[in-house]
Amino acid sequence: MSKLNARIPEGPLAQKWTNYKDHQKLVNPANKRKLDVIVVGTGLAGGAAAASLGEMGFNVKNFTIQDSPRRAHSIAAQGGINAAKNYPNDGDSVFRLFYDTIKGGDYRAREANVHRLAEVSNNIIDQCVAQGVPFAREYGGLLDNRSFGGAQVSRTFYAKGQTGQQLLLGAYQALMRQVNAGTVKMYTRTELVDIVIVDGKARGIIARDLVTGELQRHFGHAVVLATGGYGNTFFLSTNAMGSNGSAAIKAYHKGAMFANPCYAQIHPTCIPVHGEFQSKLTLMSESLRNDGRIWVPKKKEDAEAIRAGKMKPTQIAEEDRDYYLERRYPAFGNLVPRDVASRAAKERCDAGYGVGATGLAVYLDFKSAIERLGQKTIEARYGNLFQMYYKIVDENPYETPMMIYPAIHYTMGGIWVDYELQTTIPGLFAAGEANFSDHGANRLGASALMQGLADGYFVLPYTIQNYLADDIRTPRMTGNEPEFVEAEKAVKARFEKLMNIKGKRSVDSLHKELGLVMWDFVGMGRTKEGLEHAIQRIAEIKKEFWSNVRIPGNITGMNIELEKASRLADFIEIGNLMARDALKREESCGGHFREEYQTEEGEALRQDDKFAYVGCWEYKGENAEPELHKEELVYEAVKMVQRNYK
């Protein structure tokens, strides 16, 4: 158990972070210049961390697989970012944000981390405004707020439907300022392919130049992984095509623990799947649930008529519509947390009330909002989302209700980190979605941006110093040390192995196969049998992949299929871990729903006496089963109760 020391500071919950900062070790300015920090990823967490560390004077190397740091998938977040500012005077506070996040996460997050997150949330808004993020404002010139799922206060700051974009551009600009100042060196189109461990500490990475195919060795006194989530294990998700879990798997293979892999968030409002050629699912912001009402027909025959294309939703009378969220959860209505909303949609569709050609869709209707507020107001709030929907589906959502269905969106699980965001490998840190930390079993809307920026701006730049302070005498390595040479050799061998399979199946066809297995058995409703089946199927896919994948082209130069293949090999590992973790967790909580464990009303049923822990998986070798470690979750400030949004 000694491997999992969360290193939570002493003191009362509200004082822990202050106490930590008061007593942590710092690095003086002259020494900062001597220390190299590798940051992998340029999203909200990575970009913010690289910029902040650069500003402090550290020597930062920042890596991204895209052509520019501004492409990181944080950019796609639409709805907003939470903070406990209480500007609308509706009773918000740091404690309430903390409490809502813990509750929303179904009591599976670490109290101290979440409280710190709530504490720094306000600094984030201040910081972003100072950077020139154009948040929405009232006519009086002050910041506007909107409400989001899982909260009874309006605490979400937003910039049209492009909040993630604006926050990321803020971080990106701060980052480019440091690039200009020379404190950050940017490596674009460069992918981490391994982590180098020297004397038990993370001391660098092996990276692959995606344009030339060359392998590079990079030294860092510390390495930060801010590489996002692994939702693309499902092939179809709201993640970007390039989003991947490879860095997490590399860390896992080198000894970092992978925590709660089974916690994957299914977002309730995505544009439904409409064909097998589909490459990704498009999210429609949760903020739409502020004004949109979700419904399916009350009568099965109406639903059938709609599916057959004989009837239009606008023809269904008000009394024949089942606003099932408002019916089941009168207190929160359409603003229940994501996991609850997703399962409710699945329940209706499984029961035969689904709409759309496939029957796997429900309506999100703005009719009453347009009647109440006028089309102009709705356009001002959601114009770009409506336009996006129109371009994809070719239907005007101002006139006919949107069709939505849940899709994989975010992974709460990730690399295990302690309070300092350090993994079980000293010197290896993980920030943002890549770590497992703050959302428990379910993330509330507008909290991902908050966590990414909290980690990047206000947590990691502090906590990493506590580690680096002991490293000021460690000289820079050249990259010619045996550990680097060995790591590069292993990576090279792996790529050569992939190229030499010369099989028949394309990477995407295998990935789609994996995705279907994941969606069917490790998706919204999981069972013991299903998960066991999934583990077996994933093993088969793994075998098929390593014996029959086809990668045209060469190992040198740009080879997109090779990049994809390398990532798919890692997704297969993650899929396996997710299924194992889901099998082991015999309860339902947040994004993890085991059909065997539900209340009579179909709500998630936790087993706090047995599973109030973080499930951490340790890699034991290629052919061995991974080992489960547990970090027990202790709740001092809040009492664990069954979530109730009724």
Interaction residues for another protein, span 140-169 (CB under 8 A): 140-143, 159-160, 162, 164-166, 169
- Of residues 586-645, which lie at the interface with another protein (CB under 8 A)? none
Residue 457 found at the interface with another protein (CB under 8 A) = yes
The residue from 137, 310, 476, 528 that contacts another protein (CB under 8 A) is 137
Buried b (16+ CB within 10 A) or exposed e, 315-351: ebeeeebbbbbeebbeebbbbbbbbbbbbbbbebbee
Cα torsion angle, 521, 527, 530, 531, sign:
positive
- Residue 597 CB, nearest approach to another protein (Å): 35
Question: Segment near another protein (CB under 8 A), from 25-33, 456-464, 581-589, 632-640?
Answer: 456-464
Coarse DSSP helix, strand, coil percentages of the chain, rounded to the nearest 5 percent: 45, 15, 40
Question: Segment near another protein (CB under 8 A), from 8-16, 171-179, 528-536, 576-584?
Answer: 171-179
DSSP code of 144?
P
- Residue 160 CB, nearest approach to another protein (Å): 6
- Residue 179 CB, nearest approach to another protein (Å): 5
- The number of helix segments (H) and strand segments (E) in the chain equals 19, 19
CA distance 145 to 80: 9
- Residue 148 CB, nearest approach to another protein (Å): 18
Residue 177 vs 201, nearer CB to another protein: 177
Question: Segment near another protein (CB under 8 A), from 66-74, 338-346, 611-619, 637-645?
Answer: 66-74
- Residue 173 CB, nearest approach to another protein (Å): 4
Amino acid at position 200, single letter: G
Residues binding another protein: what is the number (CB under 8 A)? 84
The residue from 61, 73, 217, 338 that contacts another protein (CB under 8 A) is 73
Binding flags for another protein, 95-134, as an x/- string (CB under 8 A):
----------------------------x-xxxxxxxx-x
Residue 168 vs 195, nearer CB to another protein: 168
As to burial, measured by CB atoms within 10 angstroms (0-12 exposed, 13-18 middle, 19+ buried), residue 638 is middle
- Of residues 382-411, which lie at the interface with another protein (CB under 8 A)? 387-388, 391-392, 394
Question: Segment near another protein (CB under 8 A), from 33-41, 110-118, 257-265, 548-556?
Answer: 548-556
- Residue 492 CB, nearest approach to another protein (Å): 21
Degrees, nearest 5: CA angle 44-49-51: 100
Amino acid at position 45, single letter: A
- Of residues 341-370, which lie at the interface with another protein (CB under 8 A)? 357
Beta bridge partners of residue 598, listed in sequence order: 604
CA distance 482 to 485: 5
The residue from 11, 352, 374, 552 that contacts another protein (CB under 8 A) is 552
Residue 62 vs 113, nearer CB to another protein: 62
Question: Segment near another protein (CB under 8 A), from 136-144, 344-352, 493-501, 610-618?
Answer: 136-144
Residue 200 vs 557, nearer CB to another protein: 557
- Of residues 417-446, which lie at the interface with another protein (CB under 8 A)? none
- Of residues 289-318, which lie at the interface with another protein (CB under 8 A)? 309
Q: Kindly give, in sequence order, each residue whose CB lies less than 8 Å from that of residue 93, ignoring residues fewer than 6 positions away.
A: 84, 86
- Of residues 207-236, which lie at the interface with another protein (CB under 8 A)? 211
- DSSP assignment string, 576-598: HHHHHHHHH--S-BTTB-BTTSB
- Residue 539 CB, nearest approach to another protein (Å): 24
Residue 351 vs 392, nearer CB to another protein: 392
Residue 138 vs 399, nearer CB to another protein: 138
| Residue 80 main-chain phi, psi, to 5 deg | 170, -175
Task: Count the Cβ atoms, other than its own, within 10 Å of residue 14.
Answer: 15
Residues counted in the chain: 646
CA distance 452 to 44: 5
Cα torsion angle, 171, 174, 178, 180, sign:
positive
- Of residues 17-46, which lie at the interface with another protein (CB under 8 A)? none
Residue 129 vs 472, nearer CB to another protein: 129
Q: Alpha helices of 105-214 — where are they, by DSSP H?
A: 111-131, 163-181
- Residue 425 CB, nearest approach to another protein (Å): 26
Question: Segment near another protein (CB under 8 A), from 49-57, 315-323, 409-417, 630-638?
Answer: 49-57
Cα distances (Å, whole numbers) of residue 494 to 164, 165, 443, 475: 36, 36, 35, 30
CA distance 446 to 459: 19
The residue from 188, 358, 375, 607 that contacts another protein (CB under 8 A) is 188
The residue from 506, 527, 598, 607 that contacts another protein (CB under 8 A) is 506
Amino acid at position 516, single letter: L
- Strands 258-259 and 222-225 come out as unpaired
Beta bridge partners of residue 628, listed in sequence order: 617
Residue 174 vs 412, nearer CB to another protein: 174
Residue 494 found at the interface with another protein (CB under 8 A) = no
The residue from 75, 249, 464, 510 that contacts another protein (CB under 8 A) is 75
Contact 392, 271 (CB under 8 A): yes
- Residue 68 CB, nearest approach to another protein (Å): 5
DSSP code of 257?
P
CA distance 491 to 169: 33
Question: Segment near another protein (CB under 8 A), from 238-246, 437-445, 621-629, 631-639?
Answer: 238-246
- Of residues 566-585, which lie at the interface with another protein (CB under 8 A)? none
